[in-house]
Amino acid sequence: MLKNICVTQFNLLKSVTSLQQQVRTTFVLKRKYDPLLHKTNQKPRRMRAKHFIYELVEDTLVKKSPNMEVVLKTFVEGVGDKGDVVSMKPNFVYNKLLLPGLATYKTPENIAKYAKTEAEKSAVKHSSPYAQRTVNMLESIVLAVIMNKDEPWVIEPWHIKASLRKAGFHCREECITLPKERIEGPDLRKENKEFNCTITINKLEQANLKCRIHHWSTDPSERLPYVLEHWKLPSEPLLDVGLPERSETPEKQA
Amino acid sequence: MMSLLTSMRALAVRQPTGEALRCLHLTAVTDAARKGTREKARKKKVKVEVKKVGFIPHNQRDKKINVKRADKHVDDSWKQVSKDDVYVGRYYRWPVYTVAEAIQCHRETHHPSMYNVPNAPLNVEIELNMQGEKATRFVDNFQRMAMIPHKFDHGEDRKIIVFTKGNEEVQAARDAGASLVGGIELIKDITSGELLLTDYQYIIAHPNILAELVALRGLMKRKFPNPKSETLGANLAEMIVKFSNGISYSASKDEYQQNFGLITASVGTLDMDAKHLEENISYLLRDVNTARPKRDGHFITRVLLKSAPSSEQLKIDPFVYVSEFYDKNAAKVKRDAEAVEETETKQATAVAN
């Protein structure tokens, strides 16, 4: 009776929850104690209280969701080129690709729609999804080129290659372009002076690499005193060529 | 009323008899039986020895007890392999060099125009999975000598004493480069104290003198020649060459991670021929692989080539030189061959005796 009184007589338009959020409420359970078997064509036995004790087999809420496949609409750095079908974690796909409009769901129509045209194929802008990252990292470092203080030398591409390998960058000799001028040594006037060389990635992207010469002697007593965090200090250009000077205080060392 | 009284009395009377009956059951016989079972149970219980640790101040506990140490077996197989010709190493799998390439890389950094140490020693770091046949058992630390085809100056002082009878063998041993060669007279010198065995790092013997050499067993202790450590055998020259030129290495388990073993050995200098260095590495790896436990999976997990003063470590593939997985059949054949050899040496010693 009370219920009937309390119910409002007005029946206005109700606000329906339009946002249907997907929730996972499935739990896979297993009986802890198996119920006893019963005879064929007989009623099953009455289950006791202990037969309603369950053990958790799987909680679908904490299950790792599988990767999602999407078609890229444009070139995305670190992911892929236009028209590529990529498989990535669903959260990344939703937040970084679908919401910004960089990709769409993988359907035959979408694949056909976003496939690269012949004109686009010929005008290649990016050789690989990670090339731009490599360019950025190469341009952010100051490479220490350690040369001998006692033996004569002329800087060659393999010196830069070995120095880059020591700094954690792997490259081939033919990717390195040195300045046209010969850089000779040992010359202590060239100590900590900067020159630029160009690294070509996949014969397409070009990175401008800052290199500084340091003199090193095999005999420990002959070595130059160590300058703390020398890569953060400003330095003079080694060559008088008008190469564009970038930031005065680079952040990282190599 | 009367009947009730009588029944109550009966109850009162019965009670003590019941107690007496209960007492009857607690006899010595049952007690003895229970004693036996208790004893068994006590024996079954393994005493857990609690190690006494001295008081560690609270501010040092994170450094001493609750330290989280990273697994020393590095696995980067989840990383991708770069398709670019220039790439940042830390985002990708370690490059695997061939031995020739790795040596070339070290030669570049050690070139006169850079570090100027073209004759720097080339060091090999071999990482081992020391797990034994069971998950809780580990391979013991071992020390061995690997024979190498191309000798180099290892910088160690190795003195070898050789015991043998017969002029031919004495001459052969001298030619091979033994520090001291002798027979029964040498044994007499040692027993009289004129010669000290501690001056010699390695003791080699020919089976023909084994009977007389038994007198020195107490003095030599673990250094006593035996065929297993390849210090007892008929081919003296080969053994002497091995002990004077070979690579002496030792595998040691990590203090905190029992299944991680490390071998650091020098295999030559950078100015040696790259092919000779490669052969030395292959002989060393094959020798290390003989200590492999009888289980599946890798024993040698990673091999790095290093050369001071450069801090570069270049990974090479060891499975070009040794088989990657445990081969049951090969091991069985080898064991049979060893057994045959052992019986032969036993026969030889019996004959000598």
A181 lies in some domain: yes
Residue B86 and residue A166: Cβ atoms within 8 Å? no
Query: Which of A218, A222, A223, A252 is the best residue to mutate to test the B interface, defined by the most B CB atoms within 10 Å of its own CB?
Result: A218
* Residue A190 vs residue B155, higher pLDDT: A190
Average the pLDDT over each of A119-133, A178-192, B126-140, B339-353 and give the range with the smallest value. B339-353
Q: What is the mean pLDDT of residues A31-58?
A: 94
Model confidence band, residue A15 (pLDDT cutoffs 50, 70, 90): low
User: Could you give the ipTM of this predicted complex?
Assistant: 0.71
In a domain, A15, yes or no: no
How many separate domains does chain A show? Answer: 2
How many Å apart are CA A254 and CA A245, to the nearest integer?
19
> What six digits make up the tokens of B81?
């392999």
Residue B339's pLDDT is 57
- The whole-angstrom separation of Cα A76 and Cα B58 is 51
Does A33 map to a domain? no
pLDDT at B24: 55
Domains identified in chain B and CATH numbers: 99-144+248-322 (3.30.190.20), 160-243 (3.40.50.790)
Model confidence at A1, pLDDT cuts 50, 70, 90, reads very low
- Per-residue pLDDT, averaged over B38-54, amounts to 83
Report the mean per-residue pLDDT for chain B.
82
Residues A155 and A146: their CA atoms lie apart, in Å, by 11
Indicate the residue among A83, A98, A122 that finishes a domain: A122
pLDDT of residue A247: 42
Q: Which of A98-102, A113-117, B2-6, B171-175 has the lowest mean pLDDT?
A: B2-6
Strand A85-88 to A68-72 pairing: antiparallel
Tokens of B60: 């040092």
Residues A107 and A152 in one domain: no
Q: Check whether B200 has a pLDDT greater than 90.
A: no
Mean pLDDT over A19-41 rounds to 88
Greater confidence, A124 or A129? A129
pLDDT higher than threshold 50 for residue B54: yes
The enclosing domain of A197 has a CATH number of 3.10.430.100
Per the domain annotation, does A192 fall within a domain?
yes
Asked if B84 lies within 8 A of A202 by C-beta distance, the reply is yes
pLDDT value at A246 more than 50: no
**What mean pLDDT comes out for the span B151-177?**
84
For residue A248, the model assigns a pLDDT of 43
Q: Is residue A95 part of a domain?
A: yes
Task: Tell which wins on pLDDT, A43 or B178.
Answer: A43
Average pLDDT of every residue of chain A: 86
CATH of the domain at A102: 3.40.5.10
H/E run at residue A89: none
Q: Mark whether A188 and A223 lie in a shared domain.
A: yes
Q: What is the pTM of this model?
A: 0.71
What is the per-residue pLDDT across B79-98, written as a single tens digit (0 to 9) for each?
Answer: 999 989 999 999 999 999 99
DSSP-derived letter for residue B325 is S
Chain A with chain B: Cβ pairs closer than 8 A: 81
Asked, for residue A29, whether it belongs to a domain, the answer is no
Residue A192 sits in the same domain as residue A112: no
Give how far A130 is from chain B: nearest CA, Å.
8
Model pLDDT for residues A206-236, shown as the tens digit of each residue: 999 999 999 999 999 989 998 999 999 998 8
Q: Which of B85, B90, B116 sits opposite A148 (nearest CB)?
A: B116
Distance CA A195, CA A179 (A): 8
Q: Does one domain contain both A137 and A193?
A: yes
Instruction: Tell whether the model's pLDDT for residue A21 goes beyond 80.
Output: no
Whether residues A136 and A196 fall in one domain:
yes
Residues of B in contact with A134 (CB under 8 A): 84, 86-88
Cβ atoms B234, B207 nearer than 8 A: yes
- pLDDT level of residue B210 (50, 70, 90 thresholds): confident
* A242 pLDDT higher than 70: no
A134–B84 CB contact, under 8 Å: yes
Q: Are residues A144 and A191 in the same domain?
A: yes
In this predicted model, what pLDDT tens digit does every residue of B279-322 receive, in sequence order? 999 999 999 999 999 999 899 999 999 998 899 999 999 999 99
A177 in B contact zone (CB under 8 Å): no
Task: Show the domain range for A84.
Answer: 68-122
Q: Are strands B202-205 and B87-88 parallel, antiparallel or unpaired?
A: unpaired
Residue A4 lies in a domain: no
Contact A172 B86 (CB under 8 A): yes
**Do A100 and A146 lie in a common domain?**
no
Distance between CA B99 and CA B106 in Å, rounded?
11
Assess whether pLDDT exceeds 90 at residue B330.
no
Question: How far apart, in whole angstroms, are the C-alpha atoms of residue B268 and residue B237?
Answer: 22
Give per-residue pLDDT as tens, B247-290. Answer: 889 999 998 899 999 999 999 999 999 999 999 999 999 999 99
Contacts of A200 in chain B (CB under 8 A): 86
Task: Give domain status of residue A191, yes or no.
Answer: yes
**Position B122 pLDDT exceeds 90:** yes
Backbone angles phi and psi of B117, in degrees to 5: -130, 70
Q: CA-to-CA distance for A33 and A73, rounded, in angstroms?
A: 55
Quick check: A218 contacting B, CB < 8 Å? yes
Domain boundary pick from A103, A122, A141: A122
Query: Are residues A84 and A149 located together in one domain of the fold?
Result: no
- Residues of A with Cβ-Cβ distance to B93 under 8 angstroms: none
Rounded distance, CA B116 to CA B106, Å? 11
DSSP β-ladder status, A169-170 and B87-88: antiparallel
Q: Are B310 and B321 in contact (CB under 8 A)?
A: no
pLDDT mean over B207-229: 83
**A173 and A218 assigned to the same domain:** yes
Rg (CA), chain A: 33
Query: How far B76 CA lies from chain A's nearest CA (Å)?
Result: 16
Tell whether A170 and A219 lie within a shared domain.
yes
Q: What is the pLDDT of residue A9?
A: 59
Contact call for A169 and B86, based on CB within 8 A: yes
**CA–CA dist A207, A131 (Å, integer):** 10
B131-159 mean pLDDT: 87
Q: Are residues A140 and A209 in the same domain?
A: yes
Using pLDDT thresholds of 50, 70 and 90, give the confidence band for residue B202. Answer: confident
Could you tell me what percent of chain A has a pLDDT over 90?
A: 59
- Who has greater pLDDT, B24 or A106? A106
Of residues B65 and B263, more confidently modeled? B263
DSSP three-state, residue A223: coil
pLDDT over 90 at A63, yes or no: no
In a 10 Å sphere around its CB, with 0-12 CB exposed, 13-18 middle and 19+ buried, how is residue B349 labelled?
Answer: middle
User: To the nearest 5 percent, what fractions of chain B are helix, strand and coil?
Assistant: 45, 20, 40
How do beta strands A103-105 and B142-146 pair? unpaired
Shared domain for A89 and A139, answered yes or no, is no
pLDDT tens-digit map of A150-161: 999 999 999 999
Q: How far A187 CA lies from chain B's nearest CA (Å)?
A: 13
Q: What is the pLDDT of residue A105?
A: 95
Last residue of a domain, one of A122, A141, A165: A122
Task: Tell me the pLDDT tens digit for each residue of A172-192.
Answer: 999 999 999 889 888 899 999
pLDDT at B346: 53
Mean pLDDT across A120-128: 81
